[in-house]
Structure 1
Amino acid sequence: MITGVGTCILGRPWGSYSRVVFAKTFMSSAVLPQGWDDWGRSSTHREKVVVPADKPFITLSGSKSSTTIIKGSSHSNIFDCCGQIYHNTGCKITGVGTCILGRPWGSYSRVVFAMTFMSSAVLPQGWDDWGRSSTHSTAYYGEYKCYRPGAASSGRVKWSRHLSDEEAKPFLTKDMIGGQAWLRPAPTHFKIPSWITSNTVASIDWSTALLIKVDQSGNGDFKKIQDAIDAVPSNNSNNVFIWIKPGTYIEKVVVPADKPFITLSGSKSSSTIIKGSNHNNIFDYPTLSVLATDFVARYITIQNTYGAGDKAVALRVSADKVAFYGCSIISYQDTILDATRCHYYSSCYIEGATDFICGNTASFFEKCHLHSTSEGTGAITAQRRESPSENTGFTFLGCKITGVGTCILGRPWGSYSRVVFAKTFMSSAVLPQGWDDWGRSSTHSIAYYGEYKCYRPGAASSGRVKWSRHLSDEEAKPFLTKDMIGGQAWLRPAPTHFKIPSWITSNTVGGNK
């Protein structure tokens, strides 16, 4: 029971990972509506956030912008990391140095500033043509009743406009974006969605699955793997087993975040192949991208055939509780982008040349064959752990390493990179030094590169870099079981019973030919 003379909050964090739970507790009106306080510590979420096109009517809200921060450091692909504003009314412009109001990315660029405070940071010219004088007559750059030093009109480029009341009128209300029809107030009442429940996973019968068949010949429910995935309802809560009949499927396959509990399975990896050849952007162009939790792949080949010369991801995993059994995953550079959370690989063949297992996950590789195809010196891992507090790292247990040329076991993509090889066969392809610091000697004392009871020529310890570790039984213990990825809680056997989903009809194939 909580009562009070005045008002109170439930708590604030003395430690960064403060944890407090109130259950079935009477709370009088003394408890403030906000409930909690962050003690002036901002919550910074380091994420690349995408609100997909098929998920309208979503609100993201913090308590105040100074304490709720979404932060990223992406670059290169402009569509992944930037936004634009084209109309500015009643705004304020300040700056450390100087700036212009805009320049034309498109020939008919249109920007209007109205009733805006402009500090002296705004250069007198106001605008720039980006070296394209042809835009002077086509771009529309306007100002209306702006004020303070940066708004002085005397120095403005001649091809910008100072708008009259009539000219400015269309830009002064939300009608220019049809705002009256869709802008909405914040909600005042809340309820928990039916599809958010702690019992969802516990309630699934893993022995029985909804069966969807993919067959290029047309004798299944779908001819394409992506079509089968797309047919699974959003916010799926069923165990779905997509059986892919033998064939080579030239597809870019994505398992979206709102479709958990899906299995993709062939009969054997040598005959069921998903193949792509995209390259460069490691997040957008993998052959298979897994964004949904509780995903499983069995007995399929996932291949990127682009070859040498650029990043060419075969498999991207950006989801929690994902497992691969008996799969072949093949490319040249960045074969597997193990981006986030916990993953398991069992009896898989993984082939590449440069950093062919990379990312920042807690991943457990058991009885896998790692084959380096680099004719020079390849690198098997590039693990990206970036702080000592991150519970991430790659563990290889009972694996096998072979190669065409020579290779190292890993190099630090992140300063606190953590990789352990245990009871692993290492052929002479593994260089005596074992590891490389990627030219950053500062990582010697903070990266964690360990080996435990590995064997054959490539495992000889005499030539290893001094900053790698040969682990004792006690030091190796945390890395020798699936507990390091919490596997006991989420790894599951293959289903033994199948039924047809209600949303798969006899006409499905006919509609997908």
Structure 2
Amino acid sequence: MSSAFGDFGPLTERRKAEKARQQKRRIMIAVGTVTIVAVLIVIGAAAIAYTSKSSSEGGHKSSKASPSKAKSSHSPTSSDSESSDSSPSSDSSSPSSSDDSKAPAAGGDLKAVSKSIKVMCSQTDYTDACEKSLGKAAAKNASAASPKDIVRTAVEVIGDAIGEAFGRADLILSNDPRVKAAVDDCKEIFGDAKDDLNRTVHGVDGGGFGKEDASYQLQIWLSAVIAHMETCIDGFPDDEFKAKVKDSFTSGKELTSNALALIEKGSSLLSVFKGSSSKRRLLGEEEQPALDKDGFPVWVPEAERRVLKGGGFKNTLTPNVVVAKDGSGKFKTIGEALSAMPKVRKERYVIQVKEGVYEEYVTVTRAMANVTLLGEGSKKSIVTGKKSFADGVTTFKTATFTAQGDGFMAIGMGFQNTAGPEKHQAVALLVQSDKSIFLNCRMDAFQDTLYAHSKAQFYRNCVISGTVDFIFGDAAAVFQNCILVLRRPLDNQQNIATAQGRADAREATGFVFQKCEFQAETALRDAAKPPIRNYLGRPWRECSRILIMESEIPDFIDKAGYMPWQGDFGLKTLWYAEYANTGPGANTAGRVTWPGYKKVISKTDAAKFSVENFLHAQPWIDPTGTPVKYDLFT
């Protein structure tokens, strides 16, 4: 009860006054404290902003000073981890950060692009070149930082590098006819390289990046760009000119390798970047390629679209024109028939070549897509020539027949170069045609018979004969049910069936021999003549790749199987393997012990090199009706 009246009286009033004074002091102290805290916050914010700026600048310098750190990581996990360390949610430079609205848009974009470039370049083999070239391009255009945009830029910068290199080759002045011929080759090859680069850029723009089949096509085109550079270099004699030209292409080859790596890692890179921005569209929506009226991605060139559609060829082998040496056809030469071919057409163009030996040099140009030569048999309808390296012609120009236009097909045709073994390099058939098919054909020469130069190629039921490196080049080629005939070379030479020319491990190229048979012509086994050693292959380039599987290897093949090119060149970086071969020469016990030779691989690994998996070929082989085994025979 006393407490109920305790607030009344003089003592109570004094207590009230004392409490009021204490409350006033507390309020004043609180206000002062709040003011001090506010000042400290402002100062702290300024300090953080300054420190952030300094750290950002220092980070870029550190990245340039220690590129090996970025280069050491090749896994998506490492890239993802690196990205999360500077994620948009915690860094003021992120496009999704609210602080960015106060900063110039270009600066924010450049920071975002720089981060993306760093993550993506960590997947390449030439990290310094990657970051430098893409960073320079980003400084000019920092409007986008998506993986697709960066890959597009990675392809575009190749053009500048190889343009400069080809330009240097063009400026070489010499009275040596071989040097002059090499310069002329480089001029022509530069056009091919530019075309394949443009295709790649168009493919990336059309949604090809990150999807298996489309990415494979991009890799095929870029692999061809490397082959073009190497071909330009090859034309020069082994002198100072060749060394200078080779050096000038270093940057172009590194940048192409980087672009190949980014495309190869497309799916994993997209997954890394999938959650990196709160403003992104769904991944499937962003990367869905636009389709044309026929259901093909818009980036697929018209020539290839006709290849995939088949052009009505499967059920109609009716020739458009007939070539007959005896005058019974519309034309007497294949060259005339090609020259008269309509430039605009929707269907495959079939040229029937009647029996006869056609002494002419033929080129199916890049503009001549979907051409079929329909012969009357590989020993009846024959194109022949005799150009050779010994006569002052570059190997690239010795070919009797050159197929460049995509979708080229030859059925029952023979291709010859009769220069002879003493003339050295003398090509019968040179193939640069993508998605090309050779069925029931024959290629006969000695050294360098078949130049499978670049892009995707399929050979079925063909006979290929020669001596030294008689199947060579940098194509992605499968030889199925073919016969390889080793002929007698010069007495001081050895026979080498293959010399695959993959120069970079990122290339999607290599030679696969499936269900093939190695044979020896009678003269090779002549006991009255000096014995000749015979090998399956040797590495023309550092990353040469060959698989011989389910094939018959006879006893005249040397037990070592393969021979080196020169010294230890490529022995660690090549990839040679065998699978399920038969015959007395198939025993791998005595094979070479090079680090790059894998001996007998598993069925799972061999299946990766089937026609379907290695060439992605069903869409372009099926419409032609060509017999094919898409998987393994065993």
- Which residue of the other structure, out of 371, 393, 396, is the alignment partner of 2:510? 393
- TM-score, structure 1 normalization: 0.62
Distance in 2, Cα, partners of 1:311 & 1:216: 28
In the alignment, is residue 307 of structure 1 matched against residue 423 of structure 2? Answer: no
- Which residue of the other structure, out of 474, 485, 494, is the alignment partner of 2:615? 485
- TM-score, structure 2 normalization: 0.51
In the alignment, is residue 290 of structure 1 matched against residue 403 of structure 2? Answer: yes
Give 1:470's aligned amino acid: V
The answer for the alignment partner of 1:212 in structure 2 is 321
Distance in 2, Cα, partners of 1:44 & 1:377: 39
Q: 1:249 offset after TM fit, Å?
A: 0.4
The answer for the alignment partner of 1:423 in structure 2 is 550
The answer for the alignment partner of 1:323 in structure 2 is 437
Q: 1:440 offset after TM fit, Å?
A: 3.2
| Distance verdict in 2 for CA 1:50–1:237, change over 3 Å | farther
Q: 1:390 offset after TM fit, Å?
A: 1.1
Give 1:388's aligned amino acid: A
Distance in 1, Cα, partners of 2:498 & 2:430: 15
SS in 2 for 1:426: coil
Distance in 2, Cα, partners of 1:483 & 1:33: 34
Distance in 1, Cα, partners of 2:460 & 2:347: 24
Q: 1:362 offset after TM fit, Å?
A: 0.8
- Report Cα offsets for 1:457-506 as digits up to 9, x if no partner: 2212221112331112222121233331111121145589xxxxxxxxxx
- Which residue of the other structure, out of 332, 338, 345, is the alignment partner of 2:452? 338
The answer for the alignment partner of 1:44 in structure 2 is 158
1:237–1:261 CA contact under 8 A, matched in 2: no
SS in 2 for 1:489: helix
Give 1:276's aligned amino acid: G
Distance in 2, Cα, partners of 1:75 & 1:364: 26
| Distance verdict in 2 for CA 1:445–1:326, change over 3 Å | same
Give 2:553's aligned amino acid: M
- Report Cα offsets for 1:7-41 as digits up to 9, x if no partner: 668966542589xxxxxxxxxxx995999568996
The answer for the alignment partner of 1:152 in structure 2 is none
Deviates more, 1:198-207 or 1:332-341: 198-207
Q: 1:262 offset after TM fit, Å?
A: 0.4
The answer for the alignment partner of 1:272 in structure 2 is 381
Alignment of 1:81-480 (within 5 A): 196=302, 199-203=305-309, 204-206=311-313, 207-208=315-316, 211-234=320-343, 236-280=345-389, 281-309=394-422, 310-375=424-489, 376-403=493-520, 404=524, 405-467=532-594, 468=597, 469-480=599-610
Distance in 2, Cα, partners of 1:455 & 1:444: 25
Distance in 1, Cα, partners of 2:372 & 2:152: 44
- Report Cα offsets for 1:186-221 as digits up to 9, x if no partner: xxxxxx999858854455333346621101121111
Distance in 2, Cα, partners of 1:447 & 1:307: 30
Q: Cα RMSD between the aligned structures? A: 3.8
The answer for the alignment partner of 1:95 in structure 2 is none
Give 1:15's aligned amino acid: M
Q: 1:374 offset after TM fit, Å?
A: 3.0
The answer for the alignment partner of 2:274 in structure 1 is none
Give the aligned length: 360
Unpaired stretches in structure 1, ≥5 consecutive residues:
19-29, 54-59, 64-68, 79-191, 497-513
2:304–2:407 CA contact under 8 A, matched in 1: no
Unpaired stretches in structure 2, ≥5 consecutive residues:
1-94, 125-140, 167-185, 192-197, 202-224, 237-297, 525-531, 627-634
1:236–1:258 CA contact under 8 A, matched in 2: no
Distance in 1, Cα, partners of 2:497 & 2:142: 55
2:499–2:539 CA contact under 8 A, matched in 1: yes
| Distance verdict in 2 for CA 1:52–1:463, change over 3 Å | closer
- Report Cα offsets for 1:397-436 as digits up to 9, x if no partner: 0100012244100000011111011111111221111011
| Distance verdict in 2 for CA 1:472–1:252, change over 3 Å | same
Give 1:435's aligned amino acid: Y
Distance in 2, Cα, partners of 1:234 & 1:49: 24
Give 1:347's aligned amino acid: N
SS in 2 for 1:457: coil
Distance in 2, Cα, partners of 1:51 & 1:476: 34
SS in 1 for 2:395: coil
Distance in 2, Cα, partners of 1:52 & 1:31: 29
2:421–2:446 CA contact under 8 A, matched in 1: yes
- Report Cα offsets for 1:106-165 as digits up to 9, x if no partner: xxxxxxxxxxxxxxxxxxxxxxxxxxxxxxxxxxxxxxxxxxxxxxxxxxxxxxxxxxxx
| Distance verdict in 2 for CA 1:201–1:271, change over 3 Å | closer
Distance in 2, Cα, partners of 1:40 & 1:266: 45
Give 2:434's aligned amino acid: D
Q: 1:444 offset after TM fit, Å?
A: 2.6
| Distance verdict in 2 for CA 1:324–1:472, change over 3 Å | same
Q: 1:287 offset after TM fit, Å?
A: 0.6
2:306–2:370 CA contact under 8 A, matched in 1: no
SS in 2 for 1:450: strand
2:304–2:406 CA contact under 8 A, matched in 1: no
Distance in 2, Cα, partners of 1:227 & 1:492: 30
| Distance verdict in 2 for CA 1:277–1:236, change over 3 Å | farther
Q: Percent identity?
A: 26
The answer for the alignment partner of 1:172 in structure 2 is none
| Distance verdict in 2 for CA 1:49–1:460, change over 3 Å | same
| Distance verdict in 2 for CA 1:482–1:331, change over 3 Å | farther
SS in 1 for 2:320: strand
| Distance verdict in 2 for CA 1:202–1:298, change over 3 Å | closer
In the alignment, is residue 15 of structure 1 matched against residue 120 of structure 2? Answer: yes
Give 1:266's aligned amino acid: G
2:452–2:475 CA contact under 8 A, matched in 1: yes
| Distance verdict in 2 for CA 1:395–1:193, change over 3 Å | closer
Give 1:431's aligned amino acid: D
| Distance verdict in 2 for CA 1:76–1:272, change over 3 Å | same
| Distance verdict in 2 for CA 1:201–1:382, change over 3 Å | closer
